[in-house]
Amino acid sequence: MARDLPIGNGNVLINFDTNYNLRDIYYPYVGQENQALDHLSHFGVWVEEGFAWIDDPELNKTRQAKYLEDSLVTDVACSHERLGWDMQIRDTVDCKENIFIRKIKLSNHWNKERKVKLFFHLDLRLNGNAVGDTVYFDPELRSLIFYKGHRYLSLSSYTSEHKSAYISAYAIGQKAIHGMQGTWRDAEDGNLGGNPIAQGSVDGTAQLDLTLHGGQDAEAWFWICFGRNIDDIVKLEQDIRKATPRVYMQRTHDYWHQWVNRDAHDLRELPENLCQQYKRSLLIIRTNMDNRGAIIAANDSDILKFAKDTYSYLWPRDGALISHALDRSGYYELTRRFFQFCRRVQSKPGYLMHKYNPDGSVGSSWHPWVNGQDEKQLPIQEDETALVLYSLWHHYRLSETLGQSLEDYQHFVIPAADFMLRYRDASGLPLPSYDLWEERYGVMAFTVAAVYAGLLAASNFAEYHRDTVRMIHYRDTANRMKKAVENQLVFEKDQRFVRGLFWNSEKKVYEPDLTLDVSMYALFDFQMFAPDDPRIVNTMKALRQRLWVQTQVGGMARYENDMYHQVSQDIGKVPGNPWFICTLWYAEWVVAVAEQLEELQEAEDCLQWAASHTLPSGVMAEQIHPYTGEPLSVSPLTWSHASFIKVIQEFAGKRKKLQGKLEKPKQEVSDEHILQTAQKAR
């Protein structure tokens, strides 16, 4: 089930499923140590007339799940007509402290006083497993305390009725062993057992009692504090009780409202729904960024069912392109942490590995270290190293801080660029590596374009720092690489580019792969070729013709006969599932070549397609079902949101330019101008 409504602060990340069950709890790193590990934590309401969990079918019919505008505070409403109440839930993670906060407003439909019991259940796997956990009731805090090693969580509650933190009753027990389902079952009759402690595979449920007067509302609060020891927990509990959870939620709402409206772009002339989706995308990206620099691809643990692994890693390529979108928006302090992370994990030879855990350790991988002849090969995607260089250059030029780049130039740029110089064949093309889809080993058009851009970025750094020899060498190598692309990666018959070259070990030659793959957009996006180059035009038109999904859902597939999460073998109609990033990449090219306002309409249609296929909250998955439009694979995918942001920026800039309202967007200032200005300042 897709994840929805992520909330977090860079240390804690909370995900819900589409029934608004709490499913993922990441702490202390975003994307590492899922303290819930996809196991469902329940929330329920008891009245004398009956009981309902939050995923009750009668509530599902009425549920509306979204965020408060321009914030990372959820706003979920549902109504239970048979039981005579409706409920509004607002959840957030405090912007400063590691505390999850839930506010419940319960309304009584009936004209009589009623007793209500709220139940908050936590099913945790501390440190990512259910071995050796402990839960106990703390009589001084009147909280449930969950702990193992250096991971502590507390579950507490508060009502204005009691004017204090107060748990009315609790249940603590074992789950998932000896046929026991957990203490949530204990809640369904409205009475909890009160066992004070349990260890092993355990869970806990807290009860809070309310009085609902006839036709009136009542308010309740729950919260979870996160710490490394009991002292951390006690301090957080004391602070939130002193200030009240209402103050914490309000300050968090205000913080995110101010944060998202710092963006540097004026989008007021765009359709309102696109503007709202743009801001929502910025906020969702932030939830998937760890405060120590890792930008996580996705944190949907539901994908565990597919391969017993997740997307909760930093792919340097994804992180670089996401950082670039954020830099264009002006969030330089955030992206700076990403580049520092990359510098910390860079290998001695200069390249970056396949992916990394949020703590900087190397992530899992399926890329082998040997080829079919048991000869050593590097298990890398070279575009990941190259695109960090590319994005780092733009980070410094957009933030106008080139004067602070010397250390990065010496300790990251030179090793990375020198590796790319060495990792080439006699033709000037890069040696084989894995493609951005992580499926095939060859010389891919996307990778070559990324390496070209990375070498030019390194040359620009060298020019600024007056390293003339490297400047010339990097630039000459990039130009030679471009010529090699024109000689070897062009399909002469159709005058378009090919996806890549693959080594034929029997013939001892590289052979072209003519498969249409939307990743070839990189040849113009990374500025190897102009977007109106006839070969680029022919390539992009062929992609639109062959990869657009011919169903009512529409959207662009990755490539012909894409089998990842494939749901249809009708390849002529459905070449693959539609992906957000692929549809947006095509829109980016439409924007780039538009010379009249009306020529932007197709790009706007693609943007509207993306906005219309999000969840109601604005969350974008990786891909969607070609017949139903439902999310497939992980949700949200951080890259999807970053692509939307970048294309919106380019669409808005081009629209203003064609209207004569804009001379030149800031991001279009030439590298040469930036270099000259910076050197004069020195």
d(CA 519, CA 503): 20
Q: Percent of the chain having pLDDT more than 70?
A: 96
Instruction: Write the pLDDT tens digit of every residue in 372-397.
Output: 888 899 999 999 999 999 999 999 99
Tokens 């193992």 map to which residue? 148
Burial class (CB in 10 A: 0-12, 13-18, 19+), 426: exposed
Confidence class for position 682, pLDDT limits 50, 70, 90: very low
- Give whole-number Cα distances, 279 to 272, 285, 611, 652, in Å: 11, 10, 12, 14
Quote the mean pLDDT of the chain: 94
d(CA 591, CA 597): 10
Instruction: Write the pLDDT tens digit of every residue in 51-67.
Output: 999 999 999 999 999 99
Residue ranges of domains in the chain: 3-260, 272-681
Residue 11 is encoded by which pair of tokens?
A: 């240390």
Beta-strand ranges (E) seen in 175-318 are: 197-200, 202-212, 217-227
Instruction: Give the model's pLDDT for residue 674.
Output: 37
Equal CATH topology for 3-260 and 272-681? no
Tokens 């949101």 map to which residue? 641
Confidence class for position 305, pLDDT limits 50, 70, 90: low
d(CA 217, CA 215): 7
- Give whole-number Cα distances, 580 to 260, 309, 555, 556, 600, in Å: 22, 22, 8, 8, 18
Residue 174 is encoded by which pair of tokens?
A: 């074992």
- pLDDT(307) > 70: no
- pLDDT(679) > 80: no
**Which CATH number among 3.40.190.10, 2.70.98.10, 3.10.590.10, 1.10.10.10 corresponds to the domain 3-260?**
2.70.98.10
**Which CATH number among 1.10.10.60, 3.30.470.10, 1.50.10.10, 3.30.390.50 corresponds to the domain 272-681?**
1.50.10.10
Instruction: Give the model's pLDDT for residue 373.
Output: 81
